[in-house]
Structure 1
C-alpha cells in the first residue's frame, strides 16, 4: 500500500509539472484534426468529440469523452484515477500546451456492455512561476472566462486498468489516445 501511494504521488507530480509552454512551431499544421475521433483497443472503444467545430469566444465547450466496453461479458470493472479521462489542451496559434492535472486516488467504475461511460471536459490546468507572463495570462483567462480566440487541439486519453493496478500486467493496462480540434472565434452565433 505504501508503494502504491508513493507511485500515485509521483504520477500526480509529473502530471502537474506537464503544464508548460512547449513553444515548438514544427507541430503547426494547416488543418485541425476532426472534431470527433474513435479508438478501439481490445474490448474497449474510446471516443473523444466536440459537439461543435467552432465556438464563440469564452463559450462553454461541449467536449466529451466516452469509454464503451464491447467485450463478451455483461459488465467489467475498470480502475483509474479521479477520472479515466485526461483532457490536455494545445492552443496552436500561441503554441501553448496546457496539461491536465487531477487527483490520483484509485477508483473503480463498472462499465456495462455497449453502454458508453461519458464525462464532459472541465478545465483542470494551471501554471507555475517559471512559465512566461503570456502563458500565465492565457491560462488565467481560461480559468476566469473560458477559452479565448484560437485554434485548439485536445490530445485526450483514457487511462485505466482492468484489475487493481498494483497487480496488473501490461495487457490489463490501457492508455488509449485520440486528438480532436476546434476553433474559438468572436461573434459566433
Structure 2
C-alpha cells in the first residue's frame, strides 16, 4: 500500500513540474494514417470524446482541440469530483519524439453532469520543461508557448480522470493532427 501511495505522489510531482518524457518511437508517420481526428470511449454511464476541428493546421495557427464528458445513465444528473479539470491533454510530436505533459493544479472540484448534455472544455497549452530536458525539448516547448505549434505530426493523448461516488475513472483516447 505504501508503494502505491509513493508511486502516486511521485507521478503527481513529475506531472506538476511539467516533466517531458521522450518516446522510444522514432517512426515518422502521417498523423492521419494512424490517429483519427475524433475519438470516443464509453465506460459505464460516461462517454469521453476528444476531437480536433481540423486535420491540418498552418504553422503557428491556433490549435482547436476539445474534450467532452457526457453522462448517459438513468439519473437526471450526477456529481463528479476531479482536479482543476477532468481533462488532460498531453501532446506528443511524433517526428521529434517529444512528449509535453499537461500540468494542472490538484484541488478537489465538484462538477454536476446533466444527463446527455456534454461537459466540454477546449485545450490550452499547459506544458513545460525542466532543466533536465535536452536543449531540443526546451526550445520546442518555448516555441509552442511563445508562437504556437511548429511544423510536425501531433498526437493528443487525451485523458478524462474523475471520481463518481467511490469509483475512479481513467478514460483515454488519442487524436492526431498535422501542422504544415
Q: Counterparts of 2:64 and 2:19 in 1: how far apart (Å)? A: 22
* TM-aligned CA distance change 1:44 to 1:66, over 3 Å: same
Cα deviation, residue 24, structure 1: 1.2
Deviation at 1:11, TM superposition (A): 5.3
Instruction: Show the counterpart of 2:125.
Output: 123
SS at match of 2:81: strand
| Equivalence for 1:159 | 161
Please give the alpha-carbon distance, in whole angstroms, between the structure 1 residues aligned to 2:114 and 2:7: 29
Gaps of 5+ in 1: 1-5
Cα offsets for 1:76-110 (capped at 9, x unmatched): 10000000000000000111000011000000000
| Maintained 8 Å contact 1:81/1:105 | yes
SS in 1 for 2:22: coil
Shift of 1:23: 4.0
Report whether the alignment pairs 1:175 with 2:178.
no
Once the two structures are TM-superposed, the CA of residue 25 in structure 1 deviates from its matched residue by 2.3
Poorly superposed stretches of 4+, deviation over 3 Å: 6-12, 26-30
2:172 counterpart of 1:184: no
Counterpart residue number, 2:87? 85
Structure 1 residues 117 and 66: alpha-carbon distance in aligned structure 2, compared to 1, 3 A threshold: same
How many Å separate the matches in 2 of 1:72 and 1:156? 26
CA distance in 1, matches of 2:28, 2:173: 17
Number of residue pairs the alignment of both structures matches: 173
Question: 1:15 aligns to what?
Answer: 15
The alpha-carbon deviation at position 9 of structure 1 amounts to: 6.5
Q: Output the CA distance in 2 between the equivalents of 1:34 and 1:40.
A: 17
TM-score by length of 1: 0.85
Q: In structure 2, what is the Cα distance between the partners aligned to 1:81 and 1:157?
A: 12
> Distance in 1 between the 2:97 and 2:103 partners?
19
Query: Helix, strand or coil: the match of 2:126?
Result: coil
Q: Normalised by the size of structure 2, how large is the TM-score?
A: 0.89
**In the alignment, which residue of structure 1 is the partner of 2:59?**
57
Q: 1:46 deviation in Å? A: 0.2
User: Which ranges in structure 2 are unaligned for 5 or more consecutive residues?
Assistant: 1-5
